[in-house]
Amino acid sequence: MSALRMRSMLFVPADSERKLAKSLDSPADVLILDLEDAVAQARKPMARSMAAEFVTAQASKLGARIFVRINPLDSGLAMDDLASVVVPGLAGVLQPKTRSAADLIHLGHCLDALEARAGMAAGAVKIVPVATETPQAMLNMQGFAATAVPRLAGVTWGAEDLSAAIGAVSNREEDGSWSPLYTLANSLCLCVAASADVPAIDTLYADFRDVVGLTASCRASRRRGFRGRIAIHPDQVHTINEAYSPSEAELAHARRIVDAFATQPEAGTLSIDGVMVDKPHLTQALRTLELPH
């Protein structure tokens, strides 16, 4: 299990002085300073220096919570991004449009050298890939699961870039639900994260004024196994933190399961309130008790 808390990961465009300032007060578990899609091409160099300055100035106050989303490895921009932002205090890199495990390994090697240059501990900078933004990645999922990447701290997914790459008119059905390719991407994200024993982080909820919709969506997402969610607006962070924290009732139930097995260590199956409980329930209960609460 990763030590980083990642219930909420708030995107902050790195070229916005105002949004960077605002993010200082956010209860988001992680801030992701964005150098990619939120920043226009002409502003990338400025955004890189603003991100590096922010990490340098704020990391000691904010703790190991600052990530940067770099540009994709094949964009011609990623090496300049990394050369600017790998400075002491950087906690992680969000890698967009990841195509395969080879991309994760490549990024890891870049970080090896840049950490040494910056005088940082080897492996200090974690990686969270967006594992479903390219059609190649969707076809390479087994490779992600088969490759151990010690820097991996979580896995997230995205539907917008995938549908653009496919040339789809929309990634939604007429009733507003995800089209099959994107429910597959969502499910594969859960499997890749679980096979690496890191948290699966759900994709963004674009309608940032819709608190009721976000709450319902997060609840469903957590039931499916996601441990956290991308936020795009500060107002989403509280809702997300709440939704991905276990309730008192869930914690109490998990404790009952753990206690029941502890008092009957020879039992493989038990009954609690007339319901059968066995090994997978114990595993799930222990996971619930490990969640930040």
> Which positions lie near Mg ion, rule CB under 5 A?
37, 161
Report the residue number, 37 or 80, with the smaller CB distance to ligand COA: 37
Give the range of 9-17, 80-88, 122-130, 137-145 binding ligand COA by CB under 6 A: 9-17
Residue among 7, 8, 15, 23 that touches ligand COA (CB under 6 A): 23
Say how many CA atoms lie within 13 Å of 214 toward its Cβ: 26
Residue among 6, 9, 12, 196 that touches ligand COA (CB under 6 A): 12
The entry of ligand COA, Mg ion, none that residue 15 binds, CB within 5 to 8 Å by partner kind: none
Smallest gap from Cβ 158 to Mg ion, in A, equals 6
Give the range of 55-63, 107-115, 171-179, 232-240 binding ligand COA by CB under 6 A: 232-240
For the CA atoms of 79, 84, 88, 93, the dihedral, rounded to the nearest 10 degrees, stands at -50
Cβ atoms of 143 and 162 closer than 8 Å:
no
Residues in contact with 67: Cβ distance below 8 Å, sequence separation at least 6, in sequence order = 9, 30, 31, 32, 33, 90, 91, 92, 93, 94, 126, 128
The residue type found at 196 is A
User: C-alpha 188: how far from its chain's center?
Assistant: 14
Sign of the CA dihedral running 219, 170, 159, 24: negative
Q: Quick check: 61 binds ligand COA (CB under 6 A)?
A: no
Residue among 30, 38, 94, 196 that touches ligand COA (CB under 6 A): 38
Residue among 3, 17, 18, 176 that touches ligand COA (CB under 6 A): 18
Q: Quick check: 129 binds ligand COA (CB under 6 A)?
A: no
Smallest gap from Cβ 226 to Mg ion, in A, equals 19
Residues in contact with 223: Cβ distance below 8 Å, sequence separation at least 6, in sequence order = none
Report the residue number, 100 or 236, with the smaller CB distance to ligand COA: 236
Smallest gap from Cβ 66 to ligand COA, in A, equals 13
How many Å apart are CA 181 and CA 162, to the nearest integer? 9
Site for ligand COA in 171-230 (CB under 6 A): 204
Cβ atoms of 91 and 60 closer than 8 Å:
no
Q: Quick check: 234 binds ligand COA (CB under 6 A)?
A: yes
Give the single-character DSSP code of 152: B
Q: Provide the 10 A C-beta neighbour count for residue 67.
A: 30
Q: Quick check: 34 binds ligand COA (CB under 6 A)?
A: yes
The entry of Mg ion, ligand COA, none that residue 92 binds, CB within 5 to 8 Å by partner kind: none
Residues in contact with 17: Cβ distance below 8 Å, sequence separation at least 6, in sequence order = 50
The entry of ligand COA, Mg ion, none that residue 61 binds, CB within 5 to 8 Å by partner kind: none
For residue 86, give the nearest of 63, 43, 116 by alpha carbon. 116
Site string for ligand COA, 66-95 (x = CB under 6 A): ------------------------------
What residues make contact with ligand COA under the rule CB under 6 A?
Answer: 10-13, 18-19, 22-23, 34, 37-38, 204, 232-234
